[in-house]
Structure 1
């Protein structure tokens, strides 16, 4: 039974890693769920306090994931259309075979979304840049958690 718990926790960690890039999956919370599942393995010791602290961190990053891109977009004069374009551009960028699609897609999506909302190319580009910067910062924070939590997983399973 312990191997099933460890494998399930590992799969949640991998989903959390994917969720740090995919807007569909809540990466930090999924990774935390992997730690929570791992805590039920017989040979692994994870304190309740540790689980609470890591949950608060994951929840904070999850909330910031929605706030940071909005702040970046608004700060540069963007709109909701830019945010939607960024998210759609990310999905297209991930699925496209072009190099750096994960970076190019959100930026182009933000430009297209902002240009549809505002017919001024300069303002649309500026707002798209803000949306893109917010997206990059948010993704970076999620990725950090997506690396740290599996590192904790490995140390708990190996230790």
Structure 2
């Protein structure tokens, strides 16, 4: 039974990390599901108010990191709200249009198209904004990955 429980928990945590690259997968829900699987197989007793309070703060940090990283990346390279929205749409749509490369190309193309259409920017400026969106996306992946690792380490500290 232990092997099944921990296998499920590990699978859920791995899916959460896949969600870093495929933003359509709600990473934090899979981490929380890992906590719940532990509670169902063993006990929810280790998860006190302090545990849930800290984890909720990490969840807020995850959502904030996603938005802020994208915004800073686009804004730093001269982008506007349209570029931020275009990048966000590109992040979500890109992997479906071009399965592997769409992960990186989606935010770039989305930001470029948005800046060209909404603000009629010169192509060179729009490409720079697209590059900024890629920088923001990659920094978001790194930041969220670190937060998720900390969440899991804290979980393991509490239950082991």
TM-score, length basis structure 1: 0.70
Partner of 1:54: 55
Which structure 2 residues correspond to residues 35-114 of structure 1 after superposition, within 5 A? 35-42=35-42, 46-48=46-48, 49-95=50-96, 96-97=98-99, 100-114=101-115
**Contact residue 13 and residue 149 of structure 1 kept, 8 A:** no
**Structure 2 gap segments, 5+ residues each:** none
- In the comparison of the two structures, how many residue pairs are matched? 157
**Contact residue 32 and residue 55 of structure 1 kept, 8 A:** no
Equivalent residue of 1:143, what SS? helix
CA deviations over 1:66-102 (Å, ceiling 9, x no partner): 122112222222122222322332234322245x331
Q: Which moved more, 1:55-64 or 1:129-138?
A: 55-64
Partner of 2:16: 16
Partner of 1:128: 130
TM-score, length basis structure 2: 0.70
**Structure 1 gap segments, 5+ residues each:** none
Distance 2:86 2:43 in 1: 46
Structure 1 residue 25: Cα displacement = 4.0
Higher relative contact order (CA 8 A, sep 6+): 1
Distance 1:104 1:24 in 2: 16
CA deviations over 1:31-71 (Å, ceiling 9, x no partner): 14422542453268745334433332232122221122112
Q: Which moved more, 1:38-47 or 1:121-130?
A: 38-47
